[in-house]
Structure 1
Amino acid sequence: MKEVKNVNAGKEIAMSNTLVAGKYSLTKEEQNLIFLVASMVKREDKEFHRYKISLSDLEKATGVKHNRVRLKQLMHSIMSKPVWLNKEQTKIANWFAYIEADPKSSALICEFHWSLMPHMIQLQEYFTKAERQLLFSFKSKYSSRLYLLLKSKLGEQAGYANIVDCVLYVDDMINDFDLPKSYSNRYSNFKNKFLLPALEEINQLSDIFVTYDDKDHHRKHGRKITNIKFTVSKVAETEEEFKQKLLDTKNKEDYIPIEASERLREVVLSDELDLDLYYVRSIFRHHHLHDIERVCDDTWRNWDNKKIKDRKRVFIANIKKLEKKPEENHKLPFGFEEV
């Protein structure tokens, strides 16, 4: 039996361009689990290990709170969703060879399938690297798919230019990304529901900038648009600029821990309190969640108290009375409670 490795997740993932271009159908939760485990793989490794992932890290990566039933569903689902490794669909592989839920340590133990080793370790050429946190930050699972594919095209010619053109076929994207089949018959749906939102996220968040051209009549068969020309360029930015870009795209709800109650969410996000994004970020960073819950419960109970003229001022004053803590609420351990 293989040894279980407690490896700190790295900042980047690396995958072969073949794997990046593979055909697969995953939920965003499943996709982010793969990115999380991939960030633990070292390019210099000679084989895959079994990696232990804490539930807190898993929940931060996927944005989903996992109990025993939810974990079982995730494990079963991802083990039944393989990846096709070539356009001819003659090579297929599972993402994982083994997944185990370990209730004693509140962790998930994962091992990638051995057939993916050429696509994730000992990589020398034709591979793509990406910031793990960037991939997590995309709101749509399709944005990360298109980002990785376009970045791989840029990387293939990186030695020659910082700007490259590439042509992708609409039907290939629909098929490989598992987009709704109806997009094949109505390009406007493909464009408005997939292409434009994905490019907006990529250009707003990532280290590449992408423009597209679908108006070239030489690439049309009749009136149907069959392919799109993309122009991909590198964006130079410092690490601080990258972090600030991620921060600027967040909203108040992003800073509320997954395990917070619905009442807390309703109070903190209420229009009447109108709390600033940076203030919301600050209170969850500096105070214990159970203390914040108590303040929110008190605010809720006194919501209709006519003696309180300024609820926001009272709320902030009560938060100031709370004891500060050194760690983040998002790092609270989670168990395998029943539902």
Structure 2
Amino acid sequence: MKNDLIVKDNILVNASYNLEVTEQRLILLSIIRARETGQGITSDSKLEIHASDYATRFNVTKEAAYSALKNAVHNLFERKFSFKDNHADTDKEIVVKSRWVSRISYVDDLAILEVTFAPDVVPLITRLEKQFTSYQLKQVAQLTSKYAIRLYELLISWKSTGRTPIIDIADFRSKLGLETNEYQKMINFKNRVLEPAIQQINELTDIVVKYEQFKSGRSISGFQFSFKHKEELIQVNNNINNAVYLASKMTDAQRHMFAHKLSELPEMGKYSHGTESYQQFAIRIAEMLQDPEQFKELYPYLKKVGYMTSTKKDTMNG
């Protein structure tokens, strides 16, 4: 699957729709097939999806692949989505509603699904001069939650920052394809939609995500997500482990010097007992730095006051 690159205009990434897992997978395979033609596609182009290809890429049985393709003939044809775009003449934002496909058929003897994208979809997977999102199919191939696939796409569109803006809860639900009467209670939304999706993403994709919730009065009004690529986290852990090793090489003078600097950081206030002086606090921090686990915890603050690590040599700026 080395060339299985999914590319979507951000308008499509931020669209509102409800597709089951098998339907999302077929759309993704169709996008790949559209790219593989090398000649571009139009609203008349037929794209072929083979059951064997579906089975291989998503690690399912051939029977499951046959079933997915057969059911798509009816289900996928009926699916619709909505997206925001600018009106060509007025440049004002409008809401467009469209089907995903204008034509779809299944050739039973060949186990092939033939798909023709609807006219509104074609530019959203070929118009790459604007803002777009891309990722490898393998990152979502193992996801079995339709909400996990959608959430991954929404997150990865912010990969340059690793953090989304605050997403209004109503807008977020709409992007995930939830009806107004589905999982209305926040506890149900979290337990059945949000938390399982995040768990799958963290276990099965290349990123690790966490979220913050924001309130308006007593009600949750929105979420903000932040994520890191697992390769980055490995590097961070390596740096911390290296730092812990270097901590064992600290002289008492260096340990007390950094403890004094840490005692003056506002962020360190949560470690203070409140009644102790800066000098007493610094002495206690120096003791904390002798413990490897506490050293790991304090490592981000140490970096702020000039402590650095290097794989080539020890660096402890003072």
After TM superposition, the score normalised by the length of structure 1 is: 0.57
Aligned 8 A contact 1:30 1:74 in 2: yes
Distance 1:142 1:227 in 2: 17
Aligned 8 A contact 1:97 1:111 in 2: yes
Task: Give the counterpart of 1:76 among 74, 77, 88.
Answer: 74
Distance 2:187 2:12 in 1: 29
Cα distance change, pair 149–22 in 1 and its aligned pair in 2 (3 A): same
Aligned 8 A contact 1:24 1:83 in 2: yes
Q: Look up the match of 1:212.
A: 211
| CA-CA distance at 1:193 after TM superposition | 1.7
Cα distance change, pair 67–145 in 1 and its aligned pair in 2 (3 A): closer
| CA-CA distance at 1:9 after TM superposition | 9.4
Distance 1:93 1:176 in 2: 15
- SS of the residue corresponding to residue 32 of structure 1 reads helix
More strand by share: 2
Q: Look up the match of 1:56.
A: 52
Q: Look up the match of 1:199.
A: 198
AA aligned to 1:52 is E
Cα distance change, pair 198–151 in 1 and its aligned pair in 2 (3 A): same
Q: How big is each residue's C-alpha offset from its partner over 1:20-44, in whole Å with a ceiling of 9 and x where there is no partner? A: 1111111111111111111112286
Cα distance change, pair 66–164 in 1 and its aligned pair in 2 (3 A): closer
Aligned ranges for residues 65-214 of structure 1 at < 5 Å?
Answer: 65=63, 71-86=69-84, 90-154=95-159, 158=160, 161=161, 163-179=162-178, 181-182=180-181, 185-214=184-213
AA aligned to 2:112 is A
| Worse overlay, 181-190 or 226-235 | 181-190
Aligned 8 A contact 1:61 1:136 in 2: yes
Aligned pair 1:232/2:224, yes or no?
A: no
Q: Look up the match of 1:253.
A: none
AA aligned to 2:204 is L
Cα distance change, pair 23–106 in 1 and its aligned pair in 2 (3 A): same
Distance 2:111 2:181 in 1: 42
Aligned 8 A contact 2:30 2:47 in 1: yes
User: Structure 1, unaligned stretches of length 5 or more?
Assistant: 1-7, 238-339
Distance 1:91 1:206 in 2: 31
Q: How big is each residue's C-alpha offset from its partner over 1:259-285, in whole Å with a ceiling of 9 and x where there is no partner? A: xxxxxxxxxxxxxxxxxxxxxxxxxxx
Q: Look up the match of 1:324.
A: none
| CA-CA distance at 1:183 after TM superposition | 5.7
Distance 1:68 1:89 in 2: 38
- SS of the residue corresponding to residue 175 of structure 1 reads helix
AA aligned to 1:142 is Y
Distance 2:209 2:68 in 1: 37
Q: Look up the match of 1:327.
A: none
Cα distance change, pair 200–24 in 1 and its aligned pair in 2 (3 A): same
Across the aligned residues of Structure 1 and Structure 2, the Cα RMSD in angstroms comes to 2.9
Aligned 8 A contact 2:102 2:116 in 1: yes
Q: Look up the match of 1:47.
A: 41
Aligned 8 A contact 1:166 1:231 in 2: no
Distance 1:165 1:66 in 2: 35
- SS of the residue corresponding to residue 115 of structure 1 reads coil
Cα distance change, pair 208–75 in 1 and its aligned pair in 2 (3 A): same
Task: Give the counterpart of 2:11 among 10, 15, 18.
Answer: 18
Cα distance change, pair 42–71 in 1 and its aligned pair in 2 (3 A): closer
| CA-CA distance at 1:11 after TM superposition | 1.4
| CA-CA distance at 1:148 after TM superposition | 0.2
| CA-CA distance at 1:229 after TM superposition | 1.7
After TM superposition, the score normalised by the length of structure 2 is: 0.61
| CA-CA distance at 1:80 after TM superposition | 0.9
